[in-house]
Amino acid sequence: MPSQQLLNYLYSRSSPSVIGEWGPTTLTFPEHVCAQRELERVPMRYFELGVGRGHLYQRFLASGWQCTGVDPGAWASGFPNVFKDLSEVPNGTEADLLVAFDVLEHLSDPIAALRMLRKIAAPNARFYCAMPNRESFRAIYHRETWRMLRPLGHVNYFSRKSVKRAMQTAGFAVELLKATDLWPVRIPRSFGHLIQDLVELSSLGDQWIVVART
């Protein structure tokens, strides 16, 4: 297992072996789910592990939430109250909503990170995260050519059982655990779209969406 220091360095250098090519210039589907469910609430305290390009972080900032984040990349330094590492977050920081989208698969010790997030979480806080589903249709079908395989990037892959165990070990109670294929179901306009919709509806997608509470 590569050290977290090495993984952070490669990530901060935008190494394709870690992050691949930068993806959407807007919210990912799991981020959209979070925004849709949470941004209509009265603004509270928001914490994001893995701010990235800040698409979701900026949404919550603009909506009046008190935001704190962590990201080792220089691209996140322009956002207010973002730190390079969890260890730099000030003592006493609390959050009513925490997110970690596409982060746990990049960490050498995801349980340790979850436990640190649990310490930041306020009573009855909500926690959203997403990570690769090793039980997905594509993982089983494509095997060694599965699109989620990324040496030195994705160092962890999760089953339904391991997601639940990780959350429980860290002190989170899982409320929702659903596999998504990274896009919403829509009216199919091609055979490819039909296959994508069937995978989504069958909950066999490449990524877990998790919603938990303290």
CATH numbers and ranges of domains, the chain: 4-213 (3.40.50.150)
Looking at residue 138, its pLDDT comes to: 82
More confident residue, 205 or 46: 46
Cα torsion 7, 12, 17, 23 to 10°: value is: 130
What distances in angstroms separate CA 175 from CA 31, 149, 172, one per listed residue? 17, 28, 9
**pTM of the model as a whole:** 0.86
Which amino acid belongs to residue 13? R
Which tens digit of pLDDT belongs to each residue from 109-152? 999 999 999 999 999 999 999 999 999 888 888 888 887 877 77
Dihedral angle computed from the Cα positions of residues 84, 88, 92 and 93, in that order, rounded to the nearest 10 degrees = 0
DSSP assignment of 28-42: -HHHHHHHHHHTTSP
pLDDT band at 185 (very low <50, low <70, confident <90, very high): very low
- 8 Å CB contact between 92 and 122: no
pLDDT value at residue 25: 60
Average pLDDT of the chain, as a whole number = 86
Spell out where 36-110 has E strands. Answer: 45-49, 66-70, 82-83, 95-101
What pLDDT shows up at residue 77?
81
